Amino acid sequence: MKNVEDIIVKEDTSIWEVLQIIDKSSKQIALVIDKNKKLLGTINDGDIRRALLNNISLNEAVKNIYFKTPTIATINNSKEEIINICRTKKIYQIPIVDDEGNLIGLEILDELISKKTKTNKVILMVGGLGTRLRPLTENTPKPMLKVGNKPILETIVEKFAEYGYINIVMCVNYKSHIIQDYFGDGKEFGVNIEYVLEKQRMGTAGALSLLKEKPTESFFVMNGDLLTNVNFEHLHDFHIANNSIGTMCVREYDFQVPYGVVNIDGTKILSIEEKPTHKFFVSAGIYMLSPEVLQYIPKNKFYDMPTLFEKLINKKQNIISFPLREYWLDIGRMEEYKKANEEYDEVF
């Protein structure tokens, strides 16, 4: 059972402070207690992300966003009973309390049972031309450019394997032999790799129509020119918990207008905002999809993810966003490539 002193918070603790606590801990959860150490509830990464999407300030207290009726176990429950509770409730951490409800510790399911690899497929889109990174990409596909003395794609594979996702499909096109010669069947990297050859460019969603074996459970799709340390298990859990057919990782993007913005009604000036900053959520190039999404993708046709999600919206399917606050960098231009090399050792 885990010691929980490093993840204990109070109702008046700010969301920002809790965020720091969760990030620093490997337990991926914080426990809310009162002054007598009685367990009041829990707060996790998903609770904070939902708060961010609802425009709740990070400076606010967690009082209104934490989960107040968590599943618990007592010091009298056996290991087998605790495992059964976790599996039945589909939870991965469970607080342990005494007979008075006072917090004792935390059990983590993965540590109660032998850790297993996941069967979910990871589909990596690595067929792009990388024209904006020429001349670096004249003889090398962009995902194979080295950042931190290894190809970008190798870091992506390692990060998925770290979370137990080892069944990888690479959709290749431009100079595909370089990728295939380097990774082979994946055994050297602790994963299983299959390849789908795009004879023509298919877009970030169109290549899914070429899969030899259609996934039977939720699967990842990710662009092969990204560096991120997002927790893929959190993304997976978020997708399942929200009963989503398609989950898109989104990143907040700020844009400052370099002029004073004049708000008018007809000819009348209502107000003037000096160099306002506008905030948007943009696609981060990482997705988790349920198998039924595949029916909406045309075969042998160029088709991008934004088009797919627009179709799912029109079909009134349940699609959701997963806001990224972890490190993320799209290596599309030379300045981003240089930045990735400067930051790699510190981040990874």
pLDDT digits (tens, 9 = 90+) for 75-100: 777 777 888 999 898 888 899 888 78
Instruction: Identify the sign of the CA torsion 80, 162, 224, 231.
Output: positive
Domain boundaries, the chain: 5-112, 118-347
Q: What is the CATH number of domain 118-347?
A: 3.90.550.10
Residue 323, beta-bridge partner list: 250
Question: The domain at 5-112 falls in which architecture?
Answer: Roll (3.10)
Cβ neighbour number for residue 286 with a 10 Å cutoff: 22
First to last CA, the chain: 29
Which burial class, exposed, middle or buried, applies to 99 when counting CB atoms under 10 A from its CB (0-12, 13-18, 19+)? exposed
**What is the pTM assigned to this prediction?**
0.72
Residue in the block written with tokens 């918070």: 9
- If you write DSSP's letter for every residue of 17-59 in order, what string do you get? HHHHHHHH-TT-EEEEE-TT-BEEEEEEHHHHHHHHHTT--TT
Residue 289 pLDDT: 96
Instruction: Tell me the average pLDDT across 218-234.
Output: 89
Instruction: Identify the sign of the CA torsion 269, 274, 275, 279.
Output: negative
Rg (CA), the chain: 23
pLDDT digits (tens, 9 = 90+) for 164-174: 899 999 998 87
Does residue 133 carry a pLDDT above 80? no
